[in-house]
Structure formats: C-alpha cells, structure tokens
Amino acid sequence: MCLMQEEVPRQEVFLLHDFTKNSTMSGCSPFKMRLVHLDLKGAPPRVCYLSEIFPLFRALGANGLLIEYEDMFPYEGHLRLLRAKHAYSPSEIKEILHLATLNELEVIPLVQTFGHMEFVLKHEALAHLREVALFPNTLNPHKAESLALVGAMIDQVMALHPGARWFHIGCDEVYYLGEGEDSRHWLQQEPNTRAELCLSYMEAVASHVQARHPTTTPLVWDDMLRDIPEDQLSGRVRGTRPHSLSPPPASRVPQLVEPVLWDYGADLDVHSKVLLVEKYRKSGFSWLWAASAFKGATGASQALTPIEHHLRNHMQWLQVAGSVPVDTLRGIILTGWQRYDHFSVLCELLPVGIPSLAVCLQVLLHGGFAENVKARVENFLGTSSLEATDFRSERAGSFPGSDILNLITQVSLHLCSSVDALLERDRYVTGWFSPYHRRRKFIHPVMIQHIQPQALRRSGGVAGGECAPQPAAAAGSAAGSG
C-alpha cells in the first residue's frame, strides 16, 4: 500500500514545526467516521496493549478501526498454512472486538484479495496461483481456484465479524497484472484491456461478499481505478470476461464497492483529488472514503514518525473534504503501516506513532491545529512537548507505550550514530577490532582497555536516558540505521 509514496528527506523528518500561528479552525469535522488502521503484518500488538490504547483512540476522536489481519488471523482447515505461528486465537479476536465495542469503535476487517498477496502466495502449495510465477504479490485472476481461495478467506474472517457493515477487500498495487501467461493470452483478444481484467476480478470478489453477506459493503483501495476512464468504470464501455468469471452485461463495480482514495503525501494535490472525487461520482459510486497516514508512509526503514509530515497530510485532506459536496466522503481511514509489504523490514512501531496519531485525529476533529488543540494533544499524551528530541526523556509522555517511544528515540537519535562513529572512526576499533577481527573473534587484550570504556559509555547513556543532543543530519542517518 505504501510502495508508491515518496520518501521524506532524512534531515527534515523529526521536528514538528509550529503550525499553531497560521492554523484556522472550522470547529467541526467533515469526516463523520474516523478509523484508525491497525496493520498486523509486523509487530502485532498483544491484546492487553490494545485494551490500553483503545480508550485513548476513542478519547482522541476515533470512532472506528480498520483491522488488517494478514497472517495474524486464525485461519482454519485448508487455509491453516496462512496463519503465523503467533497468530491471534479465535478467543483473542473476539476479545479485540469486545474491547472495540466497549470503546465505541466500529471494526472493519481488511483482507487482501488481489495485490499484496505475499503472505498467501509465498507458500509452495499456493504458488501456482501467482499471476507471474516468479512474484508472490499478485493473484492470477483467471483461475477459478483463486476466487475460491479469497472467498474462503473472506468467509472465515466474516464468521468472526458478524454484523460488520463494511469489509475491505484490498485490491491495491496489483503489480504485474496482465503479465502472466493466462493474462497475456486473454489480452490478445479484442477489445480486452488490463483495466477490464482488474474490474472483472474486483466485481467477482465484491459479488461474493454481497451474495454471502448481503448486509456488508466491500471497500477497495482506489489506486487501480484512478486511470480507468469514466465510461469504462461506469460500464458504458465493456470488453469480454476472463473465462473463469461470470459474464454480466455491464460493470457493476460502482454499485458493489465503495472506493477508498489514499494519499499520504504532505503536499497532496487538493485540486486533483477533488477532480478524482468528481470522476468517481459521475461513474456511479454513491459513497467514497479518504485514507491518510499517521505513520508508516515516509520510508521503509523509518524508525521515528515525522509528525509534521503527517499533520500536513491531514490538513490537505481537510481541504479536499471542504471542496466536495457534503456527504460525499463517508469517512477517513488514518493508516498506520507496520511494513511496506510482507517481506520488508519494520517501519515505525505503533507506540512510536501514537503522538502523530493524536495530532492527526485532533486536527480532523477540530479542523486545524491551533494552540488550544496542541495543548489538548499534549494533555492526552501526558507530555509537555511534541518535539521528537524531547521524547528521549520523561517528557516522552505517560500514554501506553511511551517507554518504547523513549527508548527508540534514544537509539535513533543518539546510539546508532554514536556506535557508527565508534566502529568507523575510532583508531583502536578500526585498527584492532575491524570486521575481520569481529568475524574471527580475536583481539589484542590491551586494546580492550581502550575500546570497552567507550562502548560502555554509549550503552549506559541510553539505559540511563542521558543521551546528548545530536545535529538533525546525524539524527536522520541514525533513524535510517535503526
């Protein structure tokens, strides 16, 4: 979901600049629904931690959750191979939903059904369902077994989410669609197109949801729809259908799904988004959603959340909402990605992103970031400052997980650069404790007397919270090393 986002320059990401001077306030939120995205494909929270942060989510202004289970769902039967060893149990899923209900947070489950299928297609037993044999990210839409697989996944998740009003079927970043052997053969037949292939499969999955769960409406990420012409989206232009899918006379995608327009950029193009909303409405979509980001969208290995970037992103989305007809956007999903995909490293952990989430939710709730809103955020978090450099001390706050934010801030802003300096520039280390020496585990005993005190000072400084301030450029490279 994040692969197309532009990475933020490292030297600019950490300090929250003062937005309060120029901020204007509307006094109410144009987004009736404000969902926090829980991405469980990396460092999934324990249920006991969720019990602590759900009340905070609600207090900050959230009224829903988008839960992306990936391999953390307790799939059973022939789908059991999809679940991680540490997946939640059915009883834990029920407890999570109970906690959400207690805190008035409506839950929308998300299951990827087309792109980002790495956690499914990495398995040898399912590799034959790949669109391109070499790549495990995209499902082959031509095989009946593909639709049966995602249908079974949806049904198992829905069995633990009875009464869910919406179900997110993913369908973003369907890379290499049309490049598989079956697709190339199908595309040779006029007037078939890649867009038609995408719409046909979306329609098939959404129709499954409608048939099996008639009170549940599917959501889809919108990026695969953006470049499809309006007349093709609406069904006025139509090709043939993949052989494994039923052949209705016109596209029913606008009647079946609600697109989620996602953009995580700090410089989001408001005018282009307004035009896109207009296009979707003319194509027949009755309701649309927005998707912003409070973390996990500024670098695959990002360690600390650049609050200013995400604040700007939400201010831009407020402008979009204020420029389209009322009730066009049903709500907004504040995404918080844990990984860019199933195989990437972790980006910011959930506790690290909580201050950014607090800022973003309050901005959406109050329509701006005036001084009184900033004070409310600091009060909610139990901190006297939202500057990243202050999260290294007791001023990190008293919210659940603030101790993790404290430690990661210390490591990212001080320890990584300090250790790099020791390993790369200290003459005793480079001369007598090089990578060659470390691999072979030998060193002149005398050199230990020179190296050990420096190493202990660095580790002791982090443990005791006594890290010295570092220049912004050093902080940026440190986060990249984390």
Q: Shortest CA distance to 243 belongs to which of 183, 191, 194, 176? A: 183
Q: What distance in Å separates the CA atoms of residue 149 and residue 79, rounded to the nearest whole number?
A: 8
Q: State both tokens at 463.
A: 């443990």
Verify whether residue 76 is a known catalytic residue.
Answer: no
Strand-strand pairing, 64-68 and 106-110:
parallel
Q: What distance in Å separates the CA atoms of residue 31 and residue 20, rounded to the nearest whole number?
A: 22
Chain centroid to CA 371: 29
Task: Name the catalytic one among 68, 118, 173, 203.
Answer: 173
Report, as residue numbers or ranges, the catalytic residues: 173
